[in-house]
Structure 1
Amino acid sequence: MIAIMFDLFEPLFADAVAREFAAGDLLFRAGDPVVSMILLRARQAELVRHTGHGLKMILQRAGPGHILAEASAWSDSYHCDAVVPEPRLAALLPRTVFLWRD
């Protein structure tokens, strides 16, 4: 997500459910249905894919204020894993709320 978008999306998450994740937790896995959009409140998360050879490719390191895999809002399932290397706080917003329009 580009920096100019952060201020646009932050108000959507004002009433979102806060959740703490422990180091090593998966926020979602490739193939999981997209149910929630996740805004990081503290620290980092990594978007990861694994190759057929077992190599781990880090697609993105997202930090505070980033929405993880925001393009997934328009997909039925995630295309990568999201893992947290250390404890962090995130806000979860239902996908339907994220996509709702007046």
Structure 2
Amino acid sequence: MQHDPFHRLPADAVTVLPVGQGAVIFRQGDRATGLFRVIRGSVVLRRATATGAPVVLHRATTGQLFAEASVFSAEYHCDAVCTQDGDVARIDKAAVAQALRADPDFAESFARLLAVQVQQYRQILELMSIQSARDRVLSAVHSGLLSGSVVEFSARIGLTHEACYRALRRLVDEGRLVKTARGRYGPKP
């Protein structure tokens, strides 16, 4: 991943964990021991509303970090649940905190990594403000967000996969997108 600072940490600070679909990595209120990166698969961060309804706060996919705030928190503020089989790397909180204090290059690289993620989150928020499924899908494809399956893509941009497939089909029929293979779409050249 671009601007990856974690190679500067001691080898024992990063632990790779195999995870299965439905596995809980941590629960809200658990003691925060580290942040995580999805190596393969996907993980959702979710919390219950005041009425008890579950809300997905973030969906982390291959290469993305989650629970970054745990470096500065005593406990996790949501649940992390795997939505696909895969692997996650647990990055030790104490090692990150020590490196932030002692290694200016690590601190700068970590800040750059977080800045890129903030930009990505803002892009998703911008897309979510687009009411029309068709327009949201078109903008997301033009932004390069359709890199995995259509089901994963639809969840990432806040649509049901059925609505996403209908929008993709309509955009192809209109000549706005091209279907390059099964489940693969791109901007019209």
The structure where helix makes up a greater share of residues is 2
* Residue identity opposite 2:81 in structure 1: V
**CA distance in 2: counterparts of 1:11 and 1:29, whole angstroms:** 27
* Number of the residue aligned with 1:8: 4
The alpha-carbon distance between structure 1 residues 47 and 13, as it changes in their structure 2 partners (threshold 3 A), is farther
Of residues 56, 64, 75, the one that matches 2:73 is 75
The structure where strand makes up a greater share of residues is 1
* Number of the residue aligned with 2:95: 97
Q: After the TM superposition, which segments of 4 or more aligned residues of structure 1 sit over 3 Å from their partners?
A: 12-15
Aligned pairs, how many?
98
* Number of the residue aligned with 2:132: none
Residues 13 and 91, structure 1, Cα contact 8 Å, conserved in 2: no
* Number of the residue aligned with 1:87: 85
Aligned-pair Cα RMSD in Å: 2.0
* Identity score, percent: 27
- 1:6 CA displacement: 5.1
Q: For structure 1, list consecutive stretches of 5 or more residues without a partner in the other structure.
A: none
Bigger Cα Rg: 2
* Residue identity opposite 1:42 in structure 2: R
